[in-house]
Chain A
Amino acid sequence: MPELVTRVTVEEVPCATGDPITVLRFSGDITSASQPAVMGTYEGLPETARRILLDFSKVEYLNSSGIALVIQMMIAASKKGQKIHSFGLSPHFKKVFTMVGITKYTTLHEDEASACAAFD
């Protein structure tokens, strides 16, 4: 049973409150095998990207190694002064993200509209 490929698409959406938002839309599995997809995509973002939105709504399987990749991305974003918001997590993974403390560094939103509105 191979792991499902991690797909990440990048989209730029306008934002009423300022600079556009760069949305990373994840689908498939996010596991230890997802390093190139997750970090490779993040590192390929233009330097001008200041507001980043993570869309987990199409993720089918996420484990602790995948969560560690999200943390790595947040570490890199923090160093660059980028702001990260997230949406699309199931109630279970909202609980898990809260348990491990990620919510200290990204806010988890119900949907894309509320996440976009949260960028100041």
Chain B
Amino acid sequence: MSIKATGFSDKTAGSGRVSSSSIELRLPSRLGYEKVAMNTAASVARLMGFSEERVDDLKTAVAEACINAMEHGNKLDESLIVGVVLSMDANSLEVKVTDNGDGPQSKTDAPNIDKKMHGEEDARGMGMFLIQALVDEAEWVSSPPAGSYARMVIHLSNPHV
């Protein structure tokens, strides 16, 4: 596992300089390590001034994205890295989670609890739905053979309901 942080001021807004910076994590594809990304994202979000409700939303979204990357993207091959890049600017926090896979196999549809209860739908498979529901922007990009990524953004100015 490794961590890399960069910080710089790259543009000037009307009221002054706006700082941008990023933090990169490299995690083994081992379940449990998603908590490193989850807690790092939470720390950054708190430093940026996000409410605890939004921090909790982000924690779940980041954890689910990392689990998807480990399980489905990298097939739990611990030699393969899940990359996590947190990019901050004045009003938003972007988290990009990369893996070596072909992109997501599941879907973002809301789970059908009745089908699950009647065995017509897998009890699992809710991760992408939760990500989509909990952050302001979510996208999944498939770019084999280079790998794939999930991208999530939360905005300070956009209180999530």
Contacts and interface: CB of A to CB of B under 8 A. Distances in A.
Interface of A: 1-3, 31-33, 61, 63-65, 67-69, 71-72, 74-75, 78, 90-92, 96, 99-102, 104-105
Which one of A65, A67, A105 has the greatest number of beta carbons of chain B within 10 Å? A65
A99 B111 CA distance: 9
Interface residues of B, number: 30
B49 to A, nearest CB: 18
Contacts of A67: 126
23 contacts: A1-B32, A1-B35, A2-B32, A31-B31, A63-B34, A63-B63, A64-B64, A64-B67, A65-B67, A68-B123, A71-B123, A74-B117, A75-B119, A75-B123, A92-B57, A96-B60, A99-B130, A100-B111, A100-B126, A101-B111, A101-B112, A101-B113, A101-B114
Contacts of A71: 113, 116-117, 123
B4 interface: no
A32 B110 CA distance: 20
B31 to A, nearest CB: 7
B140 interface: no
A71 B120 CA distance: 13
Interface in B29-73: 31-36, 53, 56-57, 60, 63-64, 67
Grouping DSSP codes into helix (H, G, I), strand (E, B) and loop, the B interface class, with mixed when no group exceeds half, is helix
Interface of B: 31-36, 53, 56-57, 60, 63-64, 67, 110-114, 116-117, 119, 122-127, 129-130, 133
B154 to A, nearest CB: 14
A33 B31 contact: yes
B106 to A, nearest CB: 10
Contacts of A64: 64, 67, 124-127, 130
B63 A105 contact: no
A99 B126 CA distance: 10
Nearest to A74: B117
B120 to A, nearest CB: 11
